[in-house]
Every structure is written in structure tokens, then in C-alpha cells.
Amino acid sequence: MPGASQSTASHDPGGPLVALLYGALSPSTAWGGCVGGPKALATMVIKRVNPMSAAKIGGTLGVMLGLLIGGCISLFMLAFGSAVAASREDAGGAIVGIFFGVGAIVIVPIFYGVFMFIMGALYAALYNVAAKWAGGLEVDAA
């Protein structure tokens, strides 16, 4: 047609959303690349870790791990206490199971949190000494 202008641009049927999802989910992104090709990696060297920062992260992860382990101990002790109470006429086994179960949810996270806090600070301090000798840890960052 003489009056109509024809577009020479290609039309993407999925639009930018499909291109974005393809770029995020394509296997090439697992290797640091994208749809257009690989990304350049920057190499950084970690020469020092703040011991207090590592201790806070370690303590937080310790509390989370302690809650998980304490919950498992709690469930086991409650089930064990119930089984003992069902086999006897007195309620002593059930009470012991309840105390150990509730105590595990409180005491285990505190213990793990304090222990991991101390270990995180100690590990960071030892890393700082070793990094002075070895030159640090090389990390490739995208």
C-alpha cells in the first residue's frame, strides 16, 4: 500500500517479560552469563574479616540451628514421655518428658547461639592471621 508505513522492527511475541524470564532461567546464567553472553567476573581478595561481624552471624545461625534441633528433641521427648505415661499409672514419665521437651526449645538455642558466637569470633581471628601469611582468599564476583 502506498500510504501505509511498514515497520522493519521485529516483533517479539512474548514481549520483555518473556525475555527477562528466559534470561533469568536460562542455563547460561548459572555460569555467570546471560542471554547475550558471559559476564565478566571481578576477582576480589578478602584480606580481613571483622571478628565481631562473624560472631554475630555465627550466633544468629547457631540460634536458628538450636531451634531446629531443640524442636526435634522436644518432639522426641514429648512422644517418649507419652509412651512412658501410657505404660504406667503414675504421671512421672510424662512430666519429665514435658520438662525436657520445653527445656530443649529454650536451652539448646541459647547454648548453640553462645557457642557459635564464640566460634565465629575465633574463626575470624584465626582467618585474619592466616590471611596475612597466605595473602587472603580470592573470590570471583559477578
Asked if residue 11 has pLDDT above 60, the reply is no
Helix axes 92-134, 51-87, angle to 10 degrees: 160
pLDDT at residue 111 in the model: 95
29 and 53 housed in the same domain: no
Phi, psi of 63 (to 5 degrees): -65, -45
Predicted confidence (pLDDT) per residue in 104-131, tens digit: 889 999 999 999 999 999 999 999 999 9
Phi-psi region of 4 (alpha: psi -120 to 50; beta: other; left: phi over 0): beta
pTM: 0.62
Q: How many CB atoms lie within 10 A of CB 6?
A: 5
64 and 3 housed in the same domain: no
- Count of structural domains, the chain: 2
The helix (H) or strand (E) run that includes residue 35 is none
Asked if residue 100 has pLDDT above 80, the reply is no
134 and 69 housed in the same domain: yes
Query: Which segment, 22-26, 58-62, 85-89, is predicted with the most confidence on average?
Result: 58-62
Helix ranges (DSSP H) in the chain? 15-25, 51-87, 92-134
In sequence order, the 6+-apart residues with CB closer than 8 A to the CB of 79 are: 97
26 and 73 housed in the same domain: no
Asked if residue 39 has pLDDT above 50, the reply is yes
Question: By residue range, what is the domain housing residue 2?
Answer: 1-36
The DSSP letter of residue 49 is -
Determine contact, residues 51/124, Cβ cutoff 8 Å: yes
74 and 31 housed in the same domain: no
Q: Cα separation of 64 and 58, whole Å?
A: 10
- Mean pLDDT, the chain, rounded, equals 77
